[in-house]
């Protein structure tokens, strides 16, 4: 009798704690729908709201990663990534005119100028937003003097100090998130991107098609794998790196972002450059970007200990090559997990005829190469 009474008292105290700590029954209901009342170890709080900070594997949500640090919740709120309430409904509305966005540091400045000149050949009056990652005064002065170029300083002081280590590329998902919040749709281009032909509309049509074809943000690609019409992500990569995701991903990443290894090692799971992407701020891309940003902010996620850039490939898909590609590894893993481990669902039809990657720069740029005058002839 006493033991039964004790159990009832403990249960009553537990329910009282839940009600007082989390608020009304309505809020309890929404919490349980999002993460389940028993999953306290995944919870982070902001202004009375509870948010799930554990990544759940889309094919099997019961599989989850380690909780990300709750201190990053305010960063997600500032980037408007805590919910999909402000997501663009591309199923019913046209998305905004996409902005061209890049980032430059001193050691890639000449590459960056080559990118701007390259863009001007195809789109003389297209605005380009350049994030300053540490340019010297002469470079910033030169960029500010160029037409249709907006220079923005990256707000390093807002983020953990290790974000300043540029070789970890944590700044890239943060830039993409900031730009998407401001513009709704962006082309993010590393300074090594070289556009060859205007094929932008063909890429836009891969997202616009959602107006004419049923789309579900909760689509399970394993159960509905025969998606051939309008089944692509609104976070599109473009340029293959010629190997799989598994060989170039430090195993430490899987602590936070679990996966299904037999699928990740398939030859359909091709790795693509993270520095060339077209993204529309739809619900599905925001969900990808949320975890991309959290991994960038978490010190041991995007750059786990003992991460090495140099690879020793024994097999391009099935054997770990002892190296890590930071932002590239993480965004490819997130997209693969969400889209049946098949890159056809998150790679555009831009093709090699549309653009390529070249980590060189022009040594003969002239002022007219940066002209925004529509009458300038490029021969």
Q: pTM score, two decimals? A: 0.87
Which CATH fold would you assign to the domain 99-357?
Spore Coat Polysaccharide Biosynthesis Protein SpsA; Chain A (3.90.550)
H-helix segments, 79-231: 109-122, 137-144, 171-183, 200-208
List Cβ neighbours of 150 (8 Å cut-off, separation of 6 or more). 127, 128, 129, 130
CA dist 246 and 317 (Å) reads 6
Beta bridge partners of 150: 129
CATH 3.90.550 segments of the chain = 99-357
pLDDT, tens digit only, all 379 positions of the chain: 455 555 455 444 444 433 333 333 333 223 323 334 347 899 999 998 999 999 999 999 999 999 999 999 999 999 999 999 999 999 888 999 999 999 999 999 999 999 999 999 999 999 999 999 999 999 999 999 999 999 999 999 999 999 999 999 999 999 999 999 999 999 999 999 999 999 999 999 999 999 988 776 656 666 665 555 788 999 999 999 999 999 999 999 999 999 999 999 999 999 999 999 999 999 999 999 999 999 999 999 999 999 999 999 999 999 999 999 999 999 999 999 999 999 999 999 999 999 999 999 999 999 999 999 976 444 3
Q: In the chain, what is the straight-line distance between the N-terminal and C-terminal CA atoms, in Å?
A: 94
What letter does residue 358 receive in the DSSP assignment?
-
C-alpha 114 chain-centroid distance: 25
Helix H or strand E segment including 10: helix 2-22
Cα Rg for the chain, rounded, in angstroms? 23
Report which of 210, 195, 298, 208 is spatially closest to residue 253, judged by C-alpha positions: 298
What letter does residue 3 receive in the DSSP assignment?
H
């Amino acid at each position: 009798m006493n033991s039964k009474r004790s159990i009832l008292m403990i249960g009553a105290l537990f329910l009282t704690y839940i009600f007082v700590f989390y608020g009304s029954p309505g809020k309890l209901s929404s919490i349980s729908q999002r993460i389940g009342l028993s999953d306290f170890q995944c919870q982070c709080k902001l202004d009375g709201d509870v948010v799930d900070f554990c990544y759940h594997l889309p094919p099997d949500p019961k599989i989850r990663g380690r909780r990300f640090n709750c201190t990053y919740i305010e960063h997600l709120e500032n980037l408007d990534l805590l919910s999909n309430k402000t997501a663009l409904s591309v199923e019913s509305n046209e998305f905004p005119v996409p902005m061209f966005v890049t980032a430059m540091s001193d050691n890639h400045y000449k590459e960056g100028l080559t990118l701007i000149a390259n863009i001007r050949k195809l789109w003389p009056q297209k605005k380009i937003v350049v994030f300053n990652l540490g340019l010297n005064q002469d470079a910033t002065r030169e960029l500010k003097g160029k037409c249709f170029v907006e220079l923005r300083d990256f707000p390093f002081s807002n983020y953990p100090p290790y974000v300043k280590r540029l070789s970890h590329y944590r700044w890239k998902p943060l830039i993409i998130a900031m730009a998407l919040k401001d513009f709704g749709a962006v082309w993010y281009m590393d300074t090594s991107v070289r556009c060859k032909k205007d094929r932008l509309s063909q890429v836009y049509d891969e997202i616009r098609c959602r107006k004419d074809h049923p789309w579900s943000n909760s689509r399970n690609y394993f159960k509905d794998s025969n998606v051939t019409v309008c089944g692509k992500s609104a976070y599109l990569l473009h340029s293959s790196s010629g190997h799989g995701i598994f060989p170039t991903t430090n195993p430490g990443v899987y602590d936070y972002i679990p996966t299904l290894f037999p699928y990740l090692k398939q030859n359909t799971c091709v790795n693509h450059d993270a520095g060339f992407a077209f993204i529309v701020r739809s619900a599905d891309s925001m969900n990808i970007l949320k975890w991309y940003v959290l991994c960038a902010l978490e010190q041991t996620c995007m750059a786990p200990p003992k991460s090495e850039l140099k690879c020793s490939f024994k097999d391009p898909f099935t054997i770990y090559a002892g190296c890590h590609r930071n932002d590239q590894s993480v965004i490819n893993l997130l997209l693969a997990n969400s889209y049946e481990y098949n890159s056809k669902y998150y790679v555009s039809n831009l093709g090699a005829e549309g653009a390529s990657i070249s980590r060189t720069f022009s040594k003969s740029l002239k002022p007219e190469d940066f002209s925004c005058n529509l009458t300038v002839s490029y021969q």
